[in-house]
Amino acid sequence: MSFLQSINIYKKVKRELVSEVTDTTWAGASVSIAVVCIIVWLVYSELMSFLTITTKTRLLFEHPKSAADDMLQMVFDIDFPHLQCEYCRIQATNFMGTHNAGLATRVNKYHLDKSGAVLAKHVSLKSPLVHETAEELDAANGTVHSTPLLDINSYESARAESPLLLLSLCVDGNSWCANLAPVWERAAQVLRAEHAGPGDDATGGFAFARVNCGDAAGRPLCTEFEVSSYPTVVVVRADAQGRAQHETYHGERSVAALTKWAAHLIAQGKDRVPRSRRGGANRD
């Protein structure tokens, strides 16, 4: 036993000699506290990482040997409740991201309501839009009545008077806004003539109006309607709970197209939002 004790490399210091061979310092105490804190943090982080549930999906496949097998069919269903369909794009690249892979697009996009229920299928624009310009519109065919100019102060009263409020949001000096101005006024005149009578525009059924986004009083409205380009045409009407909802029009800016769109809204009901709640559905 004495032989085994002689080769012990972890020899114990006698208790009475500990105070003589060791000394305490502030630096040593600080390092000890730091080491303890680091150890506690490492143990906690590892424990939380172990308890956290993560899901990762990876699909790896080898390049096919023949061109006939050079196709992969994937079925996926992804919901983006707060993303408009026109801003959603599907791209496929190689694993390094250096070039796009061929994508045989059969990707269907659907509009969802706030609860996630499907409203309608998104239809991409197949042909370019044809807009009327100020020169093409003959202003001599009848008197054009000026639509009211709304701002943040007069908007609420106008919305209260007209359950169906159609707005043109523009800025001064914009050529597209200048082209829309006579078209907008003529469309308002045509709708007034077609729907003149009890319960229509004269009594607050619907109304055309304008908003100048370059004006300080009109800028808050354009911010509320999330205007990203000029001109922007929106319709404001109440939903089933009586809350004001706005929808953006994406169709042609011509008298015929605007009057057809407005007449469709009037036919749907002046005091309710239809289930689809989409403006210009055939163009959106």
Averaged in consecutive runs of 10 residues, what is the pLDDT profile of the chain (284 residues)?
Answer: 72 76 83 95 94 77 61 72 72 63 66 74 58 50 64 84 86 84 86 65 68 86 84 80 76 83 76 44 39
pLDDT in the model for residue 39: 96
Q: Both 84 and 169 in a single domain?
A: no
- CA-to-CA distance for 229 and 148, rounded, in angstroms? 21
DSSP annotation of 171 = -
Q: Both 116 and 218 in a single domain?
A: no
- 173: β partners: none
Q: What would the two tokens of residue 65 be?
A: 């040997």
Q: What would the two tokens of residue 5 be?
A: 């004790």
Which residue segment(s) compose the domain that 172 sits in?
149-268
Q: Parallel, antiparallel, or unpaired for β 164-170 and 206-212?
A: parallel
Instruction: Tell me if the bond preceding 182 is cis, omega within 30° of 0.
Output: no
pLDDT in the model for residue 104: 57
pLDDT in the model for residue 139: 46
CATH number at residue 222: 3.40.30.10
pLDDT in the model for residue 44: 96
Q: Which helix (H) or strand (E) holds 121?
A: strand 118-121
DSSP assignment of 209-255 equals: EEEETTSTTTHHHHHHTT--SSSEEEEEEE-TTS-EEEEEE-S--SH
Q: Is 268 helix (H, G, I), strand (E, B) or coil?
A: helix
Q: Does 7 map to a domain?
A: no
Count of domains observed in the chain: 2
Q: Does 55 map to a domain?
A: no
